[in-house]
Structure 1
Amino acid sequence: MRAVWCGFALGIVWLQQQASLPEGLAWLVLAAGTFVLPCIGFACLRPGGAGCVRSAGWCMLLVAAACVGFGYAAWRAQTRLAFELPHAWEGRDIVVRGWVKGLSTRTADGTRFLFAVESADASVERFPRTLQLSWIAQDAPPPALEPGSHWRLIVRLKRPHGNANWGVRDAEAALFARDVRATGYVSAPLQAARLKGRAQGIGVTVDGWRWMIRERIAAVLADAPHMGIVVALAIGAQDAVSAADWLLMRRTGTSHLVAISGLHIGFAAGLAGWLAGMLWRRSFFVGGGSPLIVPAQKVAIGSGALFAAFHAALAGFNVPAQRALWMAGVIALGQMGGRRIAPSVVLAWALGLVLLVDPWAVLSAGFWLSFCAVGAILFATSGHPRVARRAESGPSPDEGVERSLAVRCAHALGSCAQALVERMRSGARVQFAVTIALAPLTVCFFSQIPLVGPVANAFAIPWVSVFVTPAVLAGIALPAPFDAFAFRFAHHLLEGLAAGLHLLSGPPWTVWQLPQPGAWAMAAAAIGVAWCLAPAGWPLRWAAPLAWLPLLAPASAAPAEGAFRLTALDVGQGSSVVVETARHVLLFDAGPGPESTHAGERIVVPYLQAAGIASLDTLVVSHADSDHSGGVPAVLDGVEVRQLLGGLAPTHPLWRHAVKKGAQTVRCAAGQHWQWDGVDFAILWPDAGPLQGKPNAHCCVLRVSAAASARHGTPVGTDGQGQVQVQAQAQAQAHEERLTALLAADIEAPVERVLLARERAALRAQVLLVPHHGSKTSSTEPFLDSIGPSIAVFQVGYRNRFHHPYASVFERFRARGIALSRSDEDGAARIEAGGASLSLERYRQTHRRYWMDR
């Protein structure tokens, strides 16, 4: 059974990496694997068969199970993809009727919530069943959107779309995993009407309980700094956890504590089972004979499993909670049936059941962290069986006299001390196993290893599990006003925990930043983990850390000397470009801030961390518009910035923020020039002196150029993986040839004319960051003719309100045969410049998944 469930999981993981769903012949191959391989496998497993034959039989069963998992997940995906919003209905007002699903999330500018559609005034055959909507606060705050409440809303929708970047969480996958097939906002809040009645069902009832608990906690703690953690421990909703708390827990490796994890559910279920068993035993003494009919042990086990189900429901059935629930259920069924089930079998059943319910669970970090942590504990402790020690209750036969009271007390204290040492040793072994096992996953998902994690968790885990969680549960169980005392007590305990974590996370060395590893580095690290946690006596265990070298000391991915890499990030309607040379990094703009996509903290900083970029030599802020400068504060807070070069007014607050973070500040001006690793950087605009006009009139324009063996290039096709190759064509010229990129920010036609009159020769470039996102006020014909680009990058948001890029401007580029990249269609774009060619990689082509653009 272990092999079957593991094969089933492998098939599902395989499906989630595919660019398209199986069709035709692929389904025939899956059917053959599903029905033929098990027959051969069972034939090989007949008693008396040779060892190699039996091994082949198990492999065939594993492959057959993988085929079943792959086909099952593909069928579920096709069913879900059948519901979609047609392109023609995007941006149109649609009247929908339905009910609020789950808990709404309060934001600074309104409320975000899921809406289950019952009917829609749209001629769409398979209208999306679940919408993610925003109710934007205008003249009045949004109403309380209780789970299950019926509403009639006028909404404006678009197909599910997320920013697509290397090393950044796939928001589109998260929407698909929640069956959200359209997103949008309430376009006419004044015409919204709450309808009579409420939705029915167990899920709606549970969500109603969760909503009431959140309201009770909010009423008691109000603006308390750690109120979000109390809510997360009570009902699993993490949207209220503050950014400061997230940063602290990430730096100390304690982020798992804010989720209702398997540890919390196991503790609560064990406590509930012990209480139920105790009361059941006591019923015999008040005249009941129930313990003689049903043993108290079975009552305790069943009660613990039921309470685990209740607690997992309060957690919103997140993946760790599901894993703990299924494990508790399998153990309870086995023990109530008089069978002892191996822990590995219990974990395998939990793995299969989680994926049977939700095949997209493998897309979340919580799935891998939860199952790998439990698997590591079981593997590491399998070679250390617990030996029961029988305490001496009386004198040995050889003793002729009774021991004195002092001797008995000393013996009891010695036994307690020995038991305490054994527990501490066992706890240290478990903590070591979890730390070693989760370190590669932490690097993969978060690009860091908190070096103080083991120490922080050593006191944080028992603190939260033994003190904070029971206090939160008591607050849930107690009626008002007694619940307020429990919630406040839990918050005071969290304040003490935060103080301790702050002491540990102070020095910069407490967090080891590492680039996001590749598949081979992760495979080598997994082998190293298994090797290190193997039972005592395993050969060459001391050599296990060698398998971690590709993870901890990765080969440099920086460009060669004299070359540069340009990565135009997908930040929505805004701009952010990373320029790398052999030993230096420059960031040109940081995308929009809290007023839009929070690009600085959600996209730019995670990308830099995933790429192994811990510091920026220069951060260029082209101008003050929020779609270029809004993410700068998050970048200044997230990575080290040595210099801020900006086209900003002297009174702009970013100057003070940069100085506070220790960055040198310089205003950009034409004529500034420097060289890194054989690559030239030059500022072409604005002129020195006071800034005049609107921000677009004094944008920083940056030229990046590297030596090349030839000058110009034209697209000659792709390499088979979506990368456009641009081969340089030799030209007979006496001066040194260059490969050049021009980052034009938001300049408009007047600035283009000035640059043409002054710097026509310097404008020649093979790569162009299209001015002002392709607006009709920029990219004039003479300007494009002077640049002569081979590659042009449009950084625009999906269905942005400015309608960028303008249709005629985009056609202007297309007519010149230029290789084009649009962030709304292609995601991030990466350009390698050096030697004799350029290469353009579009993220959505090389990393395509079947749910993209569907």
Structure 2
Amino acid sequence: MITLALAFTAGAWVLQQLPSLPLLWPVGLLLIFLTALCWYLPAHIRQVVLCLLAAVCGFAWAAWLAQARLADALSPEWEGRDIAVVGVVASLPEQRERGVSFAFGVEQVLTPAARVPNRISLNLYRHNAFGSRDSGTGGSTSPAEKQAAIPQIHAGERWQLTVRLKRPHGSVNPHGFDFERWALENNLQAFGYIRTRSEYRPLDDMVWRPAYVVERVREHLNARIAQVLPGRPAMPLLQALVTGDDSGITTADWDVFLRSGVNHLISISGLHITMLASLAYWAVYAGWRRSYRLNLLLPARKAGVILGWLVALLYSLVAGFSVPTQRTLYMLTVFAIALWLGRRFGIARVLACALLVVVLIDPWAVMAPGFWLSFGAVAVMAFAGAYRIGMLAKWRQAVHAQWAVTLGLLPLLLLLFQQVSLVSPLANAIAIPVVSLGVVPLVLAGTLLPIDSLLWLAHALMQVVTQAMHWLAVSPWAVWQQQAPPAWSLLPAMAGIFWMLLPRGFPLRWLGWMGLLPMLLIRPEPLPDGAMRVVMLDVGQGMAVVVHTARHTLLYDTGPRYSAESDAGRRVILPYLRGEGIVRLDGLVVSHNDNDHSGGLQAVADVLSPQWMLSSLPAEAVPLQVKQHRACQTGQRWQWDGVVFEMLYPDVTSMAQVDLQDNNRSCVVKVSSRYGSILLAGDIEKSAEVRLLEAAGDRVAADALLVPHHGSRTSSTPAFVAAVHPAIALYAVGYRNRFGHPKAEVMARYHGLGAQDYRSDRDGAILLDFLSAEGIAVHRWRQQSMRYWYARD
């Protein structure tokens, strides 16, 4: 059973690595052949074939579900167009900075010839945020629409809406989050917003289907907590513990929990579900066994099992049924069946059953870090405790389990996140008993019962936990961080962990540390002197470029700010640099004071503490963490590892011009290596291009060009294009951006000179290696890391 479950999971995992979906009929023939083969083989060989058959079954099952889900897609010709639909609010509406976001189950499409997926994600923007400025799908906003009243949306309601949609499309970067995979896993095949200039109206107050009823209950529980604790700092944390809705948790709080290693407790963890189920079991068992008549109807143990399992089921549903809650529920289900039947199942078999059920229901779960961490934690605890001789004291068992989990998950955490919390054992020793035994029961009781004091007490306890975690997280030694290790280093690391966790008496257990050495010590091969790597990150409609030399790193621009709690610095730049092992920037250039170029500045400065910064920003916009800041000015020049950096614009006259637009204050940097050069032109427009050509002359010529102003008509004059004469033109643009960048006539100018164009919306991050005289090696990350769900673009 265990081997077959692992083989099935491996087959599903292999499917998720493919750049395109396979044809199903050859896979079906292989299944028939392996099934027939099992009848004629000896028993010892049959086991091998059965494992192979299970792997092919997992592969085929995942492929069939993927094809079915991808077939339910929005037609490209209907992106950005008004579509009238009727459907049901299918999820708990989440409050965002600019409005409300929710899943919408489409029941009927009223617009002729339009085809809309069955499940979509919609935004209901406040004020005038319905227009294309926020959605990026095209269109404009009328004054009447700006003043339109915003209706109240509740889970389970049926509405007739006019919406504008686009297909799932996210940023694709090295070490970055894959939004399109997440959308596929959550069966969200289109994203958009509600048009209020057209008809929209409620049709039914409540659609009585089980899934919608659960979502309405979740909404009521959230509202109950918000009503009692309005504006309180820990209120969003309590909502996350009850309903799994973590949309209100601030980025600062998440940073604290991640650095202290207790983030698993803030969402619904398996520990909370197990604890509640156990409390329900013992409460029923203790009362039931005292009644003679009740015991004649049903033994007390079986009655306790039923209620404990029901409590676990209800809590899992209310919590949103995430992978950790699924894993815990399925494990408890197997245990409940075993207790009901009077049989004993080993923990390994229980875990295998839960693994199989999760992958059957959600084969995309194998791509989620939480899947591996969730099952890995239980597996490590089972292995570390299964072979111990004798009984340890309870406190020693708890300490040993925490040590085993911390050690056992270290390789996975380094591979997935490139960092490990060193204070996690201490932090969890404090947080687990307070949150699981104190906060969770109190907040659940206070939410379900009209006793406000329970919620206040839960809030006070949560505040204590948060303060303790903050004290631990601020320590400079709280987190170990390094570059992303090679994938193959996971095998020796896990073998070493296995050896270290063997029971006492096994020889040379300390040698297990040697298995971790490849993961900890192997560094990427450094660039040679005189060479460089330039990475234009995919940050949407914005700009962020990293220049690597042999021993230095420069960041040019920090991308846009998406919302109060999200920006390109935190979502794209920091994960990339962390994965590359960069813990501090040697230099930072912010071209000008526009959101799409400086929106991520604060997040970058908070974490990476750049040694110096050049920009055209006003003094009040420079973060306090930046100790050395100077204004960009023509003539600034420095050299790193044989690579020369020159500031070509703006000059003193331009910077002194009060009425000069921010775009025309952009810092223009030329980077020249032994094997080629690139010009980083910011957002300069025609007038600035004229001044640049007058001041720099032939020095603007470069092999590659970050096209100014994202390919706008206001830039890239024929004279400028001819003077630079790039072989490679880079366009930093967002998917279906409202400006229509890059413009066709601008691209034609570069094509006319033989330039090859690369676009972040089409190609993801673009890596340029200036490593040899043979030419610039260009790598398009969306193609290099191709997965089948990208094919819909």
> Structure 2 length normalisation: TM-score?
0.94
**Which secondary structure does the structure 1 equivalent of 2:100 belong to?**
strand
Structure 2 counterpart of 1:526, one-letter code: M
Q: Is the 8 A contact 1:327 1:349 kept in 2?
A: yes
**Which secondary structure does the structure 1 equivalent of 2:463 belong to?**
helix
Query: Is structure 2 residue 309 aligned with structure 1 residue 305?
Result: yes
**Which secondary structure does the structure 2 equivalent of 1:344 belong to?**
helix
CA separation of 1:826/1:788 partners in 2, compared to 1, >3 Å: closer, same or farther?
same
Which 10-residue stretch deviates more, 586-595 or 116-125?
A: 116-125
Q: Which residue of 1 aligns with 2:592?
A: 623
Which 10-residue stretch deviates more, 600-609 or 116-125?
A: 116-125
CA distance, structure 2, for counterparts of residue 268 and residue 507 of structure 1: 34
Residues 508-523 of structure 1: matches in 2 within 5 Å? 508-523=476-491
Deviation at 1:527? 2.3
Structure 1 counterpart of 2:723, one-letter code: S
Aligned residues: 768
Q: Which residue of 1 aligns with 2:649?
A: 685
Deviations 1:742-794 (A, max 9, x none): 10111112222222233232112111111110111212222222222122110
Q: Which residue of 1 aligns with 2:28?
A: 31
Deviations 1:235-293 (A, max 9, x none): 11111112221011011011001121111100000000111112211222xxxx22134
Q: Whose Rg is larger?
A: 1
Deviation at 1:515? 1.7
Q: Is the 8 A contact 1:383 1:536 kept in 2?
A: no
Query: Is structure 2 residue 518 aligned with structure 1 residue 550?
Result: yes
Deviation at 1:372? 0.5
Q: Which residue of 2 aligns with 1:674?
A: 638
Deviations 1:796-823 (A, max 9, x none): 0000010000011122223333222111
Q: Is the 8 A contact 1:99 1:116 kept in 2?
A: yes
Query: Is structure 2 residue 436 aligned with structure 1 residue 472?
Result: no
Q: 1:705 aligns with which of 672, 684, 704?
A: 672
Structure 2 counterpart of 1:112, one-letter code: S
Q: Which residue of 2 aligns with 1:415?
A: none
Residues 486-565 of structure 1: matches in 2 within 5 Å? 486-565=454-533
Which 10-residue stretch deviates more, 321-330 or 550-559?
A: 550-559
Deviation at 1:207? 1.0
Misfit runs of 4+, over 6 Å: none
CA distance, structure 2, for counterparts of residue 634 and residue 192 of structure 1: 39
Deviation at 1:43? 5.3
Q: 2:218 aligns with which of 205, 210, 213?
A: 210
Query: Is structure 2 residue 286 aligned with structure 1 residue 278?
Result: yes
Deviations 1:442-498 (A, max 9, x none): 2233221111111111121112111111111211331x2x1x211111110011112
Q: Which residue of 2 aligns with 1:634?
A: 603
CA distance, structure 2, for counterparts of residue 224 and residue 11 of structure 1: 47
Structure 1 counterpart of 2:16, one-letter code: Q
Residues 389-408 of structure 1: matches in 2 within 5 Å? none
**Which secondary structure does the structure 2 equivalent of 1:821 belong to?**
strand
Deviation at 1:45? 5.5
CA distance, structure 1, for counterparts of residue 572 and residue 60 of structure 2: 34
Query: Is structure 2 residue 123 aligned with structure 1 residue 134?
Result: yes
Q: 1:759 aligns with which of 667, 671, 696?
A: 696
Structure 2 counterpart of 1:675, one-letter code: Q
Query: Is structure 2 residue 779 aligned with structure 1 residue 841?
Result: yes
Q: Is the 8 A contact 1:34 1:65 kept in 2?
A: no
Q: Is the 8 A contact 2:546 2:555 kept in 1?
A: yes
Q: Is the 8 A contact 1:568 1:828 kept in 2?
A: yes
Deviation at 1:5? 1.1
Aligned-residue identity in percent: 41
CA distance, structure 1, for counterparts of residue 598 and residue 568 of structure 2: 10
**Which secondary structure does the structure 1 equivalent of 2:291 belong to?**
helix
CA separation of 1:107/1:141 partners in 2, compared to 1, >3 Å: closer, same or farther?
farther
Q: Which residue of 2 aligns with 1:431?
A: 402
CA distance, structure 2, for counterparts of residue 202 and residue 23 of structure 1: 36
CA separation of 1:64/1:235 partners in 2, compared to 1, >3 Å: closer, same or farther?
same
CA distance, structure 1, for counterparts of residue 776 and residue 440 of structure 2: 56
CA distance, structure 2, for counterparts of residue 169 and residue 683 of structure 1: 33
Structure 2 counterpart of 1:849, one-letter code: R
Q: 1:647 aligns with which of 602, 613, 616?
A: 616
Which 10-residue stretch deviates more, 826-835 or 776-785?
A: 776-785
Deviation at 1:124? 4.5
Q: 1:347 aligns with which of 341, 348, 351?
A: 351
Deviation at 1:141? 6.9
Deviations 1:29-63 (A, max 9, x none): x23442333454565563xxxxxxx2x43332211
Query: Is structure 2 residue 6 aligned with structure 1 residue 6?
Result: yes
Deviations 1:684-728 (A, max 9, x none): 0000254431011121000111123xxxxxxxxxxxxxxxxxxxx
CA distance, structure 2, for counterparts of residue 789 and residue 291 of structure 1: 85
CA distance, structure 2, for counterparts of residue 510 and residue 428 of structure 1: 19
Residues 58-137 of structure 1: matches in 2 within 5 Å? 58-124=47-113, 126-137=115-126
Structure 1 counterpart of 2:612, one-letter code: Q
Query: Is structure 2 residue 411 aligned with structure 1 residue 440?
Result: yes
Residues 139-218 of structure 1: matches in 2 within 5 Å? 139=147, 142-188=150-196, 191-218=199-226
Query: Is structure 2 residue 551 aligned with structure 1 residue 583?
Result: yes
Question: CA RMSD of the aligned region, Å?
Answer: 1.8
CA distance, structure 2, for counterparts of residue 536 and residue 11 of structure 1: 36
CA separation of 1:453/1:807 partners in 2, compared to 1, >3 Å: closer, same or farther?
same
Query: Is structure 2 residue 686 aligned with structure 1 residue 749?
Result: yes
CA separation of 1:142/1:113 partners in 2, compared to 1, >3 Å: closer, same or farther?
farther
CA separation of 1:522/1:691 partners in 2, compared to 1, >3 Å: closer, same or farther?
farther
Q: Which residue of 2 aligns with 1:720?
A: none
CA distance, structure 2, for counterparts of residue 124 and residue 162 of structure 1: 27
CA distance, structure 1, for counterparts of residue 524 and residue 486 of structure 2: 13
Deviations 1:269-325 (A, max 9, x none): 0000111112211222xxxx2213421111111221111111111111111111111
Structure 2 counterpart of 1:156, one-letter code: R
Deviations 1:172-225 (A, max 9, x none): 111111111111111226742111242232111111111100000001111111
Q: 2:710 aligns with which of 761, 764, 773?
A: 773
Structure 1 counterpart of 2:661, one-letter code: K
Q: Is the 8 A contact 1:591 1:627 kept in 2?
A: yes
CA distance, structure 2, for counterparts of residue 686 and residue 512 of structure 1: 41
Structure 2 counterpart of 1:213, one-letter code: L
Q: Is the 8 A contact 1:110 1:142 kept in 2?
A: no
CA distance, structure 2, for counterparts of residue 136 and residue 477 of structure 1: 31
CA separation of 1:189/1:523 partners in 2, compared to 1, >3 Å: closer, same or farther?
farther
Q: Is the 8 A contact 1:164 1:170 kept in 2?
A: yes
Q: 1:695 aligns with which of 659, 662, 667?
A: 662
Q: 1:814 aligns with which of 751, 757, 761?
A: 751
Query: Is structure 2 residue 262 aligned with structure 1 residue 254?
Result: yes
> Structure 1 length normalisation: TM-score?
0.87
CA distance, structure 2, for counterparts of residue 488 and residue 70 of structure 1: 50
CA distance, structure 1, for counterparts of residue 791 and residue 363 of structure 2: 20
Q: Is the 8 A contact 1:450 1:512 kept in 2?
A: yes
Deviations 1:5-49 (A, max 9, x none): 11111111111111100026xx42x23442333454565563xxx
Deviation at 1:385? 4.8
Q: Which residue of 2 aligns with 1:20?
A: 20
CA distance, structure 2, for counterparts of residue 277 and residue 441 of structure 1: 40
Q: Which residue of 1 aligns with 2:328?
A: 324
**Which secondary structure does the structure 2 equivalent of 1:361 belong to?**
helix
